[in-house]
Structure 1
Amino acid sequence: MDIISYNKLPEKARNFIETYFSDYYIFKVTFNASYSVVFKGGSSVNFTSRGEWTSIIGNGNEIPLNIVEKFAEDNIIEKEVLNTIKEKYESPNIYRIIKKKNKYEILINNNIIIIDIEGNILKIKSE
């Protein structure tokens, strides 16, 4: 794993960070087949080599709901996914979002939920 300059991130990844995490202090950027941007406090966002996000890891820190809502507004995450989260959880505390092929694995309120892009919960398990 190599520590690299922020400017070496693909433009798509830099735009993602600047749009959704501009208030976060970047601690380091690494590359090892994929990119990882680690913020002060330990949260991170991971990207493919083409700069497409694959996961947002709170690492014990909550991912603010307003960021997740902005993802839905901008079609980063399907609106149906956010709607299902809000219906199921009165005050969701989201700690991790992993994007898979046609679904997401989300750590929320100490449960891991697998939810498809249409907002259907496929599985819920306790962490």
Structure 2
Amino acid sequence: MRKIFAILILGIVIVTTACADNDVITRNLNELPAPARTILKQQFAHTKVSYIKIDKDWFKSTTYDVQLVNGTEVSFDSKGDWTEVDGKRSEVPAFFIPKEIKKQVNEMFPGEKITKIEKDSRKYEVELTNDVELKFDRKFNIREID
């Protein structure tokens, strides 16, 4: 029984070590895919990068989290497509917001700004200055309001 328990513990330790975090922290913009560099240069030309966290996952592709000195965070997938922009209470640049979402937010919540937007293959999620969260499908229909 002890041997089985010891082997089980050893297996857990090996799996945990093998799946250890493979993050790289850098400030070198050249570590980003070209489309990500282009987006940062166009949308945040006057804001410096604080750091870039590169997450090389064993089972998924690489992701990039860029922290800007003004507090804004921008996440990119392995191709350099943005997946999330978090303004940390500041408005997200219009470039990231589909016009259909912007229109609905302006109609339903006049005066509120989008401070965070996240997208994946099936949906968009936005957070407003009043902390309301909206979830949209890919056709920009609202599916949930929190």
More moved, 84-93 vs 42-51: 84-93
Q: State yes or no: 1:119 paired with 2:140.
A: yes
More moved, 101-110 vs 114-123: 114-123
Secondary structure in structure 2 of the residue aligned to 1:122: strand
Amino acid corresponding to residue 82 of structure 1 in structure 2: K
Q: State yes or no: 1:49 paired with 2:78.
A: yes
Name the TM-score, length of structure 1 as normaliser. 0.82
For residue 77 of structure 1, report the CA deviation from its aligned partner: 4.2
Instruction: Work out which of the two has the higher radius of gyration on C-alpha atoms and give 1 or 2.
Output: 2
Q: Distance in 2 between matches of 1:7 and 1:112?
A: 34
For residue 116 of structure 1, report the CA deviation from its aligned partner: 2.5
Aligned positions, number: 116
CA contact (8 A) 1:115 1:121 kept: yes
Give per-residue Cα distances to partners, 1:32-84, cap 9 Å, x unaligned.
020111011321100001101000012x33124xx22xx2xxxx543211211
Q: Which has the higher contact order (CA 8 A, sep 6+)?
A: 1
Aligned CA distance change for structure 1 residues 97 and 57 (closer, same or farther; 3 Å): same
Q: Distance in 2 between matches of 1:79 and 1:38?
A: 26
CA contact (8 A) 1:81 1:117 kept: no
Amino acid corresponding to residue 48 of structure 1 in structure 2: D
Aligned match of 2:38: 15
Unaligned runs of 5+ in 2: 1-22, 56-61
> Whose strand fraction is larger, Structure 1's or Structure 2's?
1
Identical counterparts, % of pairs: 28
CA contact (8 A) 1:34 1:49 kept: yes
After superposition, residues 24-103 of structure 1 pair within 5 angstroms as 24-32=47-55, 33-58=62-87, 60-64=88-92, 67-68=93-94, 71=95, 77-103=97-123
Unaligned runs of 5+ in 1: none
> Whose helix fraction is larger, Structure 1's or Structure 2's?
2
For residue 88 of structure 1, report the CA deviation from its aligned partner: 1.3
Secondary structure in structure 2 of the residue aligned to 1:90: coil
Name the TM-score, length of structure 2 as normaliser. 0.72
CA contact (8 A) 1:10 1:51 kept: yes
